[in-house]
């Protein structure tokens, strides 16, 4: 044990997200990269589901049909896709819309995360599912596809496939979405740390400020002060 090493604080970071949201792909990648690089905190992630398309069946929906329903003309769609791909590169994420043919339902992917979270660190699994969809265009609604991803990230493929063949934890995912909405989460990705909420994709300095604020709040000597004065944090983050 290094007696000169600074003490590390434990911190729970709740992340509300969906797998077919490109902003979630960027935001989750950046959040994990920034927080895992810090030398003063040990982060434990809690991954909370948010179904952007809860009515989609397992077959999903044609990608172009989906985009036209949301954004109208093909010209407008192309501009938007180029903008998102360019933005993703700035956040060290690779998004290839040309490889995506269908928008999948994400219930199974979120179910897998709920299952995996009780068996180990599922953060690499989540990053792997994002990569499979946005980089490779894989159908992440398919149990076989998800089981293969799970195996690549340390989980038993046969157990994962057996789990995905049923509907176990579907209610947990649905309940998680309802809880997020009741908590005022209407956009994703959203981070919740020590009563602070930050929604959207943000640069590294903003994420560091959020963590610094959360660490300050979590200090016992600061709890009274934060309640009485707010410490100006509400100007940066939503205080729940």
Q: What is the pLDDT of residues 60-101, one digit of tens each?
A: 999 999 999 999 999 999 999 999 999 999 998 999 999 999
* Residue 64 domain-assigned (yes or no): yes
pLDDT of residue 6: 55
* Residue 42 domain-assigned (yes or no): yes
pLDDT at residue 228 greater than cutoff 80: no
Comparing C-alpha atoms, which of 103, 237, 92, 117 is closest to residue 176? 117
Whole-prediction pTM: 0.89
The pLDDT tens digits of the residues spanning 177-201 come to 899 888 888 889 999 999 999 999 9
163 is in which domain, residue-wise? 9-239
Q: Average pLDDT in the 155-173 region?
A: 97
pLDDT of residue 218: 85
* Residue 13 domain-assigned (yes or no): yes
pLDDT of residue 238: 57
* Residue 118 domain-assigned (yes or no): yes
pLDDT of residue 74: 93
Number of domains in the chain: 1
pLDDT at residue 220 greater than cutoff 90: no
pLDDT of residue 221: 53
Q: Where are the beta strands (DSSP E) in the chain?
A: 9-17, 41-49, 61-62, 102-103, 190-193, 196-199, 238-239
* Residue 2 domain-assigned (yes or no): no
pLDDT at residue 18 greater than cutoff 80: yes
Q: Are strands 61-62 and 238-239 parallel, antiparallel or unpaired?
A: unpaired
Top-confidence residue, 55 or 219:
55
* Residue 3 domain-assigned (yes or no): no
Top-confidence residue, 1 or 142:
142
Confidence of residue 9 (pLDDT cuts 50, 70, 90): confident
Query: How is residue 136 written in tokens?
Result: 């490779």
* Residue 1 domain-assigned (yes or no): no
- Read off the CATH number of the domain in which 149 is found: 3.40.30.10
Instruction: Give the whole-angstrom CA distance, residue 236 versus residue 216.
Output: 14
How far CA 114 is from CA of 102, 187, 219, 238, in Å, comes to: 24, 21, 30, 27
């Amino acid at each position: 044990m290094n007696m000169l090493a600074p003490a590390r604080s434990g911190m729970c970071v709740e992340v509300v997200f969906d797998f077919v949201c490109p902003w979630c792909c960027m935001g989750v990648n950046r959040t994990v990269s920034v927080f895992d690089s810090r030398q003063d905190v040990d982060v434990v992630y809690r991954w909370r589901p948010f179904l952007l398309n809860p009515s989609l069946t397992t077959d999903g929906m044609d990608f172009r049909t989906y985009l036209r329903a949301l954004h109208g003309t093909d010209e407008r769609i192309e501009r938007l896709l180029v903008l998102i791909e360019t933005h993703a590169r700035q956040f060290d994420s690779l998004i290839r819309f040309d490889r995506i043919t269908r928008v999948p339902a994400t219930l199974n992917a979120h179910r897998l995360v709920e299952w995996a979270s009780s068996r180990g660190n599922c953060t690499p699994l989540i990053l792997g599912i994002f990569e499979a969809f946005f980089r490779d265009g894989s159908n992440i609604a398919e149990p076989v596809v998800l089981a293969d991803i799970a195996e690549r990230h340390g989980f038993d493929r046969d157990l994962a496939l057996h789990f995905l063949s049923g509907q176990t934890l579907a209610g947990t995912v649905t309940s998680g979405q309802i809880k997020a909405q009741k908590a005022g989460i209407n956009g994703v990705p959203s981070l919740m740390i020590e009563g602070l909420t930050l929604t959207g994709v943000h640069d590294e300095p903003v994420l560091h400020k959020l963590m610094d604020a959360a660490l300050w709040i979590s200090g016992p000597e600061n709890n009274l002060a934060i309640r009485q004065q707010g410490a100006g944090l509400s100007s940066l983050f939503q205080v729940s």
